[in-house]
Chains A and B, each alone.
Chain A
Amino acid sequence: MISSLAIIAFAALIHASFQLSVSMLTLLSGHAIGSKTAHAKLLRLTNGFLLGVAVMTMLIISFIAFVFQHVFGNTIPLVAWAISCGLLLGLGVAVWAFYYRREKGTSLWLPRGIARYLSDRTKSTKRSAEAFGLGLSSVVGELIFVLAPMVISALVLVRLEPVWQLAGIGLYTLISLLSLLIVNALVGSGHKLSRIQKWRESNKRFLQFSAGSGLLILGFYVYVDQVLSVTALAYGGR
């Protein structure tokens, strides 16, 4: 069970290294501070955003786990593990190749029309409920990349006891929020957004490399642990 939770924690850490939600939180804070929003209201907005991200993350991972439980029961077929590992490896290479655009700033892979739309929505967010909705949509917006760590975590969750499934969902959500929690704490404690954004820009290649590498390592580990070892044992038993 420890190894299951470790896989979930590692997958969530990879999830935390994706940057769309962090970009949106940075923009949201910037617009709120720039329009002289009171500090308490700024915190309500950013906390609303965080809550939205947390709720959507929990809903998606629970939904995927529910579907797997319904389809596979407690025994996951090898082919499901193999497909999920392929997804992790493929996305790992995709993150290395496409995650950030080759231009200044922290422009992501998103089509420019969608990025502009999200940016405009972030700018016009004035209420906590809107920030909550924005948090929900930021997870959906990045689903193409966070899907792989979520799928692997869901596969691992299905095999756990119900109580540990809840703990696993909580653990995944908490760890996947780490980067947002850090940015929120920095903004809340009065740090300058320009410093946060400069740090993000100067470390973007490292973040991209570590996210891609994380996906590859996780995919390789799970493949060896769940597919190769089981296949080898089956052949050895003959």
Chain B
Amino acid sequence: MSLAIDIVKRDGKRPTESFNREKLHASVRAACLSVRSPEGEAETTASNVCDAVIIWLETKPEVTSNDLRRKATETLESFHPEAAYLYKHHRLVM
């Protein structure tokens, strides 16, 4: 599902793209699986995070990918702190 909200990519160097729920869902689910969550729990957590992010997005015409990631991390922290840690720091591992 794509909402009519533009996501401005990191540093504005790559072209803007529409919000894609599946993409967010897949990344949150992967973070949950990375910390050995059961698959069902990972699916549920990812769906809950996507729902919360979409509610947040509804009031905004355009957000940056960093904002989107920050909001997703904040929400994920309440469901799965360990997965949120990996999700937040995945670009800061090396």
Contact = CB atoms under 8 A, between A and B. Distances in A.
> Do the two chains bind?
yes
Contacts of B35: 192-194
Given A36-B33, A194-B35, A118 B86 contact: no
A176 interface: no
What class of interface size applies to chain A in its complex with B?
20 to 34
Interface in A173-210: 190, 192-195, 197-198, 201
Interface in A107-144: 107-108, 110, 115, 118-119
Contacts of B56: none
Given A35-B30, A197-B85, A192 B36 contact: yes
A20 interface: yes
A162 interface: no
A134 to B, nearest CB: 12
B29 to A, nearest CB: 8
Contacts of B29: 34
A91 to B, nearest CB: 19
A194 B94 contact: no
A47 interface: no
Interface of A: 19-20, 23-24, 26-27, 30-31, 33-36, 103-108, 110, 115, 118-119, 190, 192-195, 197-198, 201
Interface of B: 29-31, 33-36, 39, 82-83, 85-86, 89-94
